Structure 1
Amino acid sequence: MKRFIGFVKKEFYHIFRDRRSLFILFGMPIAQILLFGFAITNEINNVDIAILDHSNDATTKEIINKIAASKYFSIQQIITHEADIPSVFEKGQIKAVLNFENDFSKNLINNHKATLQIVTDATDPNTANTISNYVNAILQQYQTELNKGITTPYQIVSQTRMVYNPELKSVYMFVPGVMTIILMLVSAMMTSISITKEKELGTMEILLVSPINPFQVIIGKVVPYIFLSVINAIVIVLLSIFIFHMPVQGSLFLLALESVLFIVSALALGILISTISKSQQTAMMISLMGLMLPVILLSGFIFPISSMPVPLQIISNIIPAKWFIIIIKGIMLKGVGLQYIWKETLILLAMTIFFIALSVKKYKIRLE
């Protein structure tokens, strides 16, 4: 019995000395519950909207102030012409435009009826529906206050118009997100085990004594997988178009270039994981657990980032998938060109360079 107790104590010592095991046992569950608790929500908060006020009277200003005072919306832009609405949505930040009709207050007083059009970006149909419902709830509350003690009630009629996805097809949201997740996880996993595999097979010594420098090793590991991942991306796009009838409003050439950039970014991240991992098992675990949850929860694929706590919004900026989803939705659903997605493209490019540079540095450290 004493031998068994001694053996159990030894196992406890081994576990407590292994920081990776402790992180998996205690760190991962805490991180997961915090992510799921804060990121998964059907509510919206601080959604960026624009205002188009043709009437510009006391009543419209009062309604706008009520909307601005709510925690659900943040008024980022005031536009003056309906022709500006498409360009506002193409930039990607604004999710809805509230369009007040001419003589809004006059119509409300004389006819006891006025119209407000809610134009929403329906590339994310769930968020578009929620925005419409929240605006209607605020309008209903305003009407209730306005009609106290009045025999003939005033009525504000809201008309909702969904742009880019008028039929509210959920596939328009899921195809770009699933494409991003597949390319991210498959590409990262394929390269994350490349260098660790060399170590476990004992062929690392050949690389150590070869005249190939670390940068050439890193690039050499990435290049074959670029070709394979591009084939994967082509298959996904073809299935999306011909099976799910996903539209491609923009340039296929631009979509291809952006996809290659994202693939290289994911592969470079996989190589970085490979250089800091001691075994294939560790590399696979980091790739799956360390990338899957952030990509699904913090990329804006399912849950709007603007509704998350500020710390998670900040963390989401370092997730490459977030920027690629903005790019792919812009090209496929909105038909935008590089002039609208250049910032996201530069961010992905900078991340790719950073991952490759850090991989080379880590590889050099391990060579010494």
Structure 2
Amino acid sequence: MKRFIGFIKKEFYHILRDKRSLFILFGMPIVQIMLFGFAITNEINNVDIAILDHSKDATTQEIINKIAASKHFSIKQVIEKESDMASVFQKGQVKAVLNFEKKFSKNLIKDNHAKVQLVTDATDPNTANTISNFINAILQNYLKEQNKNITVSHQVIPQTRMVYNPELKSVYMFVPGVMTIILMLVSAMMTSISITREKELGTMEILLVSPLKPFQVILGKVFPYIFLSIINAVIVIVLSVFIFKMPVQGSLFLLGLESVLFIITSLALGILISTISATQQTAMMISLMGLMLPVILLSGFIFPITSMPLPLQVISNIIPAKWFITIIKGIMLKGVGLQYLWKETLVLLGMTVFFIALSVKKYKIRLE
């Protein structure tokens, strides 16, 4: 036991002396959570639009003022004729043009309807669709205010209520995914070079002839990173809550336990990569390139898994990040407990045992 504790202390000292490893472990996650949290969003704010008002009456001015008052849009310019639309789009000055017909107010009062055309720059289809939805919502809200004293029989008025994220904040979607990616990639990357570093430095022979058993070497390599990664997870969660206002509806204690489990899973995967890699460069490439794309594409972080072809849905089940994203969203946004998340927890626990067992087996093979 004393040898095992001494081995763990040696690993701690080695990590703390390596400034590059400390930067990767603590610096990169902070930079990533801040960068991704602010940059990755499907919301629109201060989008530049142009106005083509053929009517120039009080009603169109009210609508324009209502749009300008929204945080989502900024009236960049007012154009005078339709031929100017192509020019402003080609110059990239605006993302949309709102075109009011002539006698807009008169037609609205006399015929109970008036035409307004929304022309959007669809080089970015998602942004164009979002702009259209927001503009339509503003117009519908204006009409509702104008018609609040008018009743029409047999009306069907749908009422929509958004649960868990009523304000439709995209940060609620992206931050859990970014947290998962950071914890997995950093943990796996750090441990993936631990054993390969011993090989390159020529100290592997010392471990091979030491009285430490293979599972003790594996646990000794993982343990310091568990402690440091927990600190990392606390930093990420604190930034998410206080900077991006992510709620924690469920148990903070359960969130901590599940985070530790996922960290151990990621570290075990990194150790497995380390045992099958000959050099640090190979281990780093596998942990970065081999894990990053599957984690981003097949974890449900950005793209819904149910929308993927069946073979990819099946493959996604072997991605640990998929299960942790479900857990973290369940705890932070839905406030559910272990009675709803036991399956995902067991999957991560099973993966951890599998990765550690396979790492020990591979390490044994290298002992022979």
Q: TM-score, normalised by structure 1?
A: 0.58
Residue identity opposite 1:164 in structure 2 = Y
1:68-92 C-alpha deviation (Å, 9 max, x unpaired): xxxxxxxxxxxxxxxxxxxxxxxxx
2:330 paired with 1:330: yes
Q: Give the Cα separation in 2 of the matches to 1:326 and 1:307.
A: 16
Q: Secondary structure at the match of 2:162?
A: strand
Q: SS of 2:161's equivalent? A: strand
Q: 1:45-124, aligned counterparts within 5 Å?
A: none
- After superposition, where does 1:144-293 map in structure 2 within 5 Å? 157-293=157-293
TM-superposition CA deviations, 1:194-228 (whole Å, max 9, x none): 00000000000000100001000000000000011
Deviation at 1:158, TM superposition (A): 3.3
* Structure 1 counterpart of 2:302: 302
Q: Tell me the distance in 2 between the aligned counterparts of 1:278 and 1:155.
A: 71
Report the counterpart of residue 19 of structure 2 in structure 1: none
Give secondary structure in 2 for the equivalent of 1:159: coil
- Please state how far the C-alpha of 1:154 moved relative to its aligned partner: 8.4
Alignment match, 1:64: none
Residue 163 of structure 1 aligns to a residue whose secondary structure is coil
Secondary structure, counterpart of 1:160 in structure 2: coil
Report deviation, 1:279.
0.5
Mapped partners of 1:318, 1:292: distance in 2: 14
The unaligned stretches of length 5 or more in structure 2 are: 1-41, 43-125, 134-151
* Matched AA of 2:307: S
Identity of aligned residues (%): 85
Distance 1:341 1:300 in 2: 17
> 1:83-110: per-residue Cα shift (whole Å, max 9, x none)?
xxxxxxxxxxxxxxxxxxxxxxxxxxxx
| 4+ runs deviating over 6 angstroms | 152-155
**Whole-Å separation in 1 of the counterparts to 2:155 and 2:217:** 69
Cα displacement (A) at 1:161 = 1.5
User: CA offsets, 1:162-195, max 9 Å, x none?
Assistant: 1000000011011100000000000000000000
- For residues 222 and 154 of structure 2, the distance between their equivalents in structure 1, rounded to whole angstroms, comes to 65
Partners of 2:330 and 2:203 in 1: how far apart? 45
How far 1:159 moved relative to its partner? 2.6
SS at match of 2:318: coil
CA distance in 2: counterparts of 1:238 and 1:261, whole angstroms: 18
Change (3 A) 1:156 1:365: farther
User: Residue in 2 aligned with 1:28?
Assistant: none
Deviations 1:275-322 (A, max 9, x none): 000110000000001000000010001110000000000000000000
CA 309–153 in structure 1, closer or farther in 2 if over 3 Å, else same: farther
Q: Which residue of 2 aligns with 1:12?
A: none
What are structure 1's unaligned runs of at least 5 residues?
1-41, 43-125, 134-151
User: What is the number of residues matched between the two proteins?
Assistant: 222
CA-based RMSD = 2.1
1-side partners of 2:153 and 2:279: how far apart? 72
Query: Quick check: which has more Rg, 1 or 2?
Result: 2
Q: 1:214-265: CA deviations, max 9, x gaps? A: 0000000000000110000000111111111110000110000000000000
Output the TM-score relative to the length of structure 2.
0.58
Q: Helix, strand or coil for the counterpart of 2:336? A: coil
